[in-house]
Amino acid sequence: MDESKQVIDDLLLSGAMQICGVDEKTGEFLYQFTPKLKDVMPDLYKEHLNHVNSEIMGLWEKGFVHMDLLAESPIVRLSELAFNDEEILKLSREDRWALEELKRILFTKEL
C-alpha cells in the first residue's frame, strides 16, 4: 500500500476524515475532514485551513462570493457570478473546482 493510501486509511479509521459522497464523473469517493483532524494531525489541519481560506479569498476577490471580512466569523455567500456559466469558464481549473466544491458544501448544509 502506498503512503498516501495509508494516510487516508489512518484518517478514516481515526474519524478525522469521512466519506461525503461519490464523484459523478469518476465514481471515486469524495472525502471531507472532520473537526477531529485538528487533534489527530494538527499540521495537516492548519495547512488545510490555510488552503481553504486562500481559495475563498481568491473567489471573493474575483466576485464569486460575498463575505464581510470585518466580521468575527465571516459568512460566505455565493454571488450571482457564481451561477454565471460564461464567467465560471473564465476561471482557472483550480478556481472552478474550488467554486464547485464550495457550492456542494453550502448546498449540502442547506438540506
Domain range list for the chain: 1-37, 41-111
Please check whether residue 17 is in contact with residue 11, taking contact to mean a CB–CB distance below 8 angstroms.
Answer: yes
Give the whole-angstrom CA distance, residue 111 versus residue 98.
20
Q: What is the CA radius of gyration of the chain?
A: 16
Please check whether residue 69 is in contact with residue 62, taking contact to mean a CB–CB distance below 8 angstroms.
Answer: no
**Strand bridging mode 77-78 / 29-33:** unpaired
Please check whether residue 20 is in contact with residue 31, taking contact to mean a CB–CB distance below 8 angstroms.
Answer: yes
Q: What is the DSSP letter of 33?
A: E
User: Whole-model pTM?
Assistant: 0.73
Report the pLDDT value the prediction gives residue 1, as an integer from 0 to 100.
59
Report the pLDDT value the prediction gives residue 96, as an integer from 0 to 100.
94
Please list the pLDDT of the chain residue by residue as tens digits (111 residues).
Answer: 588 889 999 999 999 999 988 888 899 988 889 999 999 999 999 999 999 999 999 999 999 999 988 888 889 999 999 999 999 999 999 999 999 989 988 887 655
Please check whether residue 5 is in contact with residue 16, taking contact to mean a CB–CB distance below 8 angstroms.
Answer: no
